[in-house]
Amino acid sequence: MILARTLDNDLLQGWMVLTLTFLFVALVPFIGPLVVVLTPLPVLYYASHLGRLRGISVLATAFLTSYGILAVMRQHVNLPTPLMIAITGLLLSEVLKRNYSFEKTILTTSLALFFCGSGFILLRSWQADIAPWKLIEGYVAALIKENIELYSQLNISQEQIKVIRENTGQITRFFAGVFPALGISGSVLTVWANLLAGQMLLKFRKFSFPEFGDLTLWKAPERLVWIFIAAGGMLLFPVEGIVIFGMNLLILLCMIYMFQGLAIAAFFFRKKQIPRMFRFFFYGLILIQQYMLIIVVALGLFDLWIDFRKRIRDLNQTDTDQ
C-alpha cells in the first residue's frame, strides 16, 4: 500500500515537473529555447526511477496537458520539437541499462535522436508536399529573418543587419548544406549534457549509474587527425558538393576535438584544485565567446603532439616536490 502510494506521488510529481518544463520552454523568451536542451533530464530521471512504461506515461500526459494549456491560451508554439528532444531521456535510460562504454552510450543515443529528428523532417516535408532540403532551407531562412528582427531590437548597427539581409540566400544555402553535421552535433551535445547532468542527479538520489571511468583522461583516436586534414583539403576543391561534404566533416571533427579540449581543461582544474566558481565562469565563456570555443578545439587537436595532460601532471608533480 505504501509503495503504491509512493509511486502515485512520484507519477504526479513527474507529471507536474514535465508539464512546467514544457510550458517554460514554450512561453519564456530567450531562456526557454536554451532550457530545451535539458528537457530530457527529468524524463531520464523519472524513466530510471519509475520504469519504462511509467516514464512514457508521465511524458505523454505532461505533453498533452501542456498542449491543452497552450491551446486554451491560444499560444501557437511548436511543442512537438521539445517533445522530440525530451524523448532523448527515454532513449538514454534504455541505453544506460546496457552498460555500454561512454563513447557507445553517446553514439547510440545521439544517432537514435538524429534519426528521430530526420524522420520528423521527412514527415513534415511529406505533409507539406515539398522536398526535405527545401523544408530545411525554409526553416533556416525563417531563423535568419527572426535574428534580423532581434538584431534590430538590440541596437546592432544597420550596416551589419544590411550585410546579413543582402546575403540571406548564401547564408541559407550554407547552413542548409551543413545541416546534417549540425543535426548530429546538436544531438551529441544534447545527449552529452544530459548524460553528465543525469549522472550527478541519479547518483545524488542513490540510483544506479554506469561507471565510465575518469572522463578527464578521454581522448579521440589519433587517426582522426588524418580525416581532419583531408576534410580541410576538400575545402580547396572547386566542386561545391565536395566543399559541403568537407565542411560537414570538419564540423563533426571539431566537435570531437572540443570534447577532448574540455577533458584537458577539466583535468587541469582538478589537478590545480581550481574553485568551482572559476570553472563555471570558464564554461560560460565557451558558450558566449566563439574564440574560447576555438581555443578549446585547438587544445584537443594539438594534444596529439603536445600531450597537455602529461605536461600538467609533470608541472603539478614539480610543484608538489618544491
| pLDDT tens track for 44-91 | 998 888 888 888 888 889 888 888 888 887 766 666 777 888 888 899
DSSP SS3 for 74 = coil
d(CA 298, CA 137): 31
pLDDT digits (tens, 9 = 90+) for 122-147: 888 888 788 888 888 888 887 777 77
Q: What is the pLDDT of residues 204-257, one digit of tens each?
A: 888 888 888 888 889 999 899 999 999 999 999 888 889 999 999 999 999 999
pLDDT for res 154: 65
Q: Which residue has the cell 523532417?
A: 121
- Residue 14 in this model has a pLDDT that exceeds 60: yes
Q: Any idea of the CA torsion for 104, 107, 112, 116, to the nearest 10 degrees?
A: 170
Cell 491560444 found at: 74
pLDDT over 70 percentage in the chain: 89
- Three cell numbers, residue 61: 500526459
Per the listing, cell 565510465 goes with 212
Q: What is the pLDDT of residues 165-188, one digit of tens each?
A: 777 778 788 888 888 999 999 899
**Mean pLDDT, range 152-169, rounded to an integer:** 72
Residues 6+ apart with CB under 8 A from 313: 271
Q: What is the pLDDT of residue 3?
A: 45
- Burial label, 56 (beta-carbon count in 10 A; 0-12, 13-18, 19+): middle
pLDDT of residue 296: 92
CA distances from 88 to 21, 75, 122, 247 (A): 15, 25, 19, 27
- Single-letter amino acid, residue 55: G
Domain ranges of the chain: 1-213
Q: State the chain's mean pLDDT as an integer.
A: 84
Q: 245: how many CB neighbours lie within 10 A of its CB?
A: 19
* Model confidence at 32: pLDDT above 70: no
- Of the pLDDT bands very low, low, confident and very high (cuts 50, 70, 90), residue 2 is very low
Cβ(24)–Cβ(32) below 8 Å: yes
CB neighbours of residue 251 within 10 Å: 16
Query: In this structure, what C-alpha cell is assigned to residue 202?
Result: 541519479
Which amino acid does the sequence have at 179? F
pLDDT digits (tens, 9 = 90+) for 199-218: 888 888 888 888 888 888 89
* pLDDT at residue 6, rounded to an integer: 54
* Residue 282 pLDDT exceeds 70: yes
Q: 109 is written with which cell numbers?
A: 543515443
